Amino acid sequence: MMSSVVFDPEPMNVDEDALRSLEDYAKAKGVTAEIVLAGMIDALKPREHDDDGYPIVHVDTAYRFPRSGKTGHVILPADWDDPEDAVYDRYADE
Protein backbone atom coordinates (compact mmCIF):
# COMPACT_ATOMS: atom_id res chain seq x y z
CA MET A 1 0.00 0.00 0.00
CA MET A 2 1.22 3.47 -0.89
CA SER A 3 2.16 5.82 1.93
CA SER A 4 -0.28 8.59 2.80
CA VAL A 5 2.59 11.08 2.82
CA VAL A 6 4.38 12.45 -0.21
CA PHE A 7 7.93 13.47 0.71
CA ASP A 8 9.07 15.54 -2.26
CA PRO A 9 9.70 18.45 -2.02
CA GLU A 10 8.22 18.67 1.49
CA PRO A 11 6.04 16.26 3.47
CA MET A 12 2.40 16.67 2.51
CA ASN A 13 -0.62 14.89 3.90
CA VAL A 14 -2.77 13.16 1.33
CA ASP A 15 -6.49 12.70 1.86
CA GLU A 16 -7.19 9.02 2.61
CA ASP A 17 -10.22 8.93 0.28
CA ALA A 18 -8.17 10.39 -2.57
CA LEU A 19 -5.41 7.88 -1.92
CA ARG A 20 -7.90 5.03 -1.88
CA SER A 21 -9.38 6.27 -5.18
CA LEU A 22 -5.91 6.38 -6.71
CA GLU A 23 -5.17 2.85 -5.53
CA ASP A 24 -8.54 1.58 -6.86
CA TYR A 25 -7.88 3.22 -10.24
CA ALA A 26 -4.39 1.73 -10.39
CA LYS A 27 -5.69 -1.72 -9.49
CA ALA A 28 -8.33 -1.48 -12.24
CA LYS A 29 -5.55 -0.63 -14.71
CA GLY A 30 -3.40 -3.49 -13.46
CA VAL A 31 -0.54 -1.29 -12.24
CA THR A 32 0.64 0.16 -8.94
CA ALA A 33 -0.45 3.52 -7.56
CA GLU A 34 3.17 4.66 -7.85
CA ILE A 35 3.14 4.00 -11.61
CA VAL A 36 -0.12 5.94 -12.05
CA LEU A 37 1.22 8.85 -10.01
CA ALA A 38 4.51 8.84 -11.91
CA GLY A 39 2.56 8.95 -15.18
CA MET A 40 0.52 11.92 -13.97
CA ILE A 41 3.65 13.79 -12.96
CA ASP A 42 5.42 12.89 -16.20
CA ALA A 43 2.46 14.26 -18.17
CA LEU A 44 3.25 17.70 -16.72
CA LYS A 45 6.87 17.59 -17.87
CA PRO A 46 7.63 20.13 -20.61
CA ARG A 47 8.36 18.39 -23.90
CA GLU A 48 9.98 21.35 -25.62
CA HIS A 49 12.65 23.84 -24.54
CA ASP A 50 13.91 27.06 -26.09
CA ASP A 51 17.55 27.67 -27.01
CA ASP A 52 18.32 28.76 -23.43
CA GLY A 53 16.85 25.59 -21.96
CA TYR A 54 13.65 27.16 -20.62
CA PRO A 55 10.47 25.11 -21.09
CA ILE A 56 8.09 26.17 -23.83
CA VAL A 57 4.58 26.27 -22.41
CA HIS A 58 1.80 26.12 -24.97
CA VAL A 59 -1.09 28.44 -24.16
CA ASP A 60 -4.60 28.09 -25.47
CA THR A 61 -4.90 30.98 -27.89
CA ALA A 62 -8.55 30.52 -28.80
CA TYR A 63 -9.31 34.07 -27.64
CA ARG A 64 -7.10 36.86 -26.43
CA PHE A 65 -8.39 40.14 -25.13
CA PRO A 66 -7.12 43.28 -26.85
CA ARG A 67 -4.56 45.46 -25.08
CA SER A 68 -4.79 49.16 -24.42
CA GLY A 69 -2.52 51.17 -26.69
CA LYS A 70 -2.09 53.72 -23.90
CA THR A 71 -1.32 51.50 -20.90
CA GLY A 72 -0.72 48.06 -22.39
CA HIS A 73 -3.25 46.53 -19.98
CA VAL A 74 -5.74 43.95 -21.18
CA ILE A 75 -9.13 45.43 -22.04
CA LEU A 76 -11.90 43.24 -20.63
CA PRO A 77 -15.51 43.40 -21.84
CA ALA A 78 -17.35 46.42 -20.43
CA ASP A 79 -20.17 44.28 -19.04
CA TRP A 80 -17.65 42.60 -16.71
CA ASP A 81 -17.14 45.85 -14.83
CA ASP A 82 -18.76 46.11 -11.41
CA PRO A 83 -20.04 49.69 -11.07
CA GLU A 84 -20.19 49.35 -7.28
CA ASP A 85 -16.41 49.30 -6.94
CA ALA A 86 -13.53 51.17 -8.49
CA VAL A 87 -10.99 48.38 -8.26
CA TYR A 88 -10.13 48.35 -11.97
CA ASP A 89 -11.17 51.87 -12.90
CA ARG A 90 -7.58 53.11 -12.73
CA TYR A 91 -6.75 50.83 -15.66
CA ALA A 92 -9.48 52.19 -17.93
CA ASP A 93 -8.49 54.21 -20.97
CA GLU A 94 -9.58 57.79 -20.85
Could you list the pLDDT tens digit for every one of the 94 residues in the chain? 444 445 455 656 778 888 899 999 999 999 998 899 888 888 877 788 889 988 887 776 677 788 888 888 888 887 777 778 777 676 665 4
Q: Where are the domains of the chain?
A: 5-79
Phi-psi region of 74 (alpha: psi -120 to 50; beta: other; left: phi over 0): beta
C-alpha closest to that of 91 among 61, 80, 59: 80
**SS3 assignment for 39-52:** HHHHHCCCCCECCC
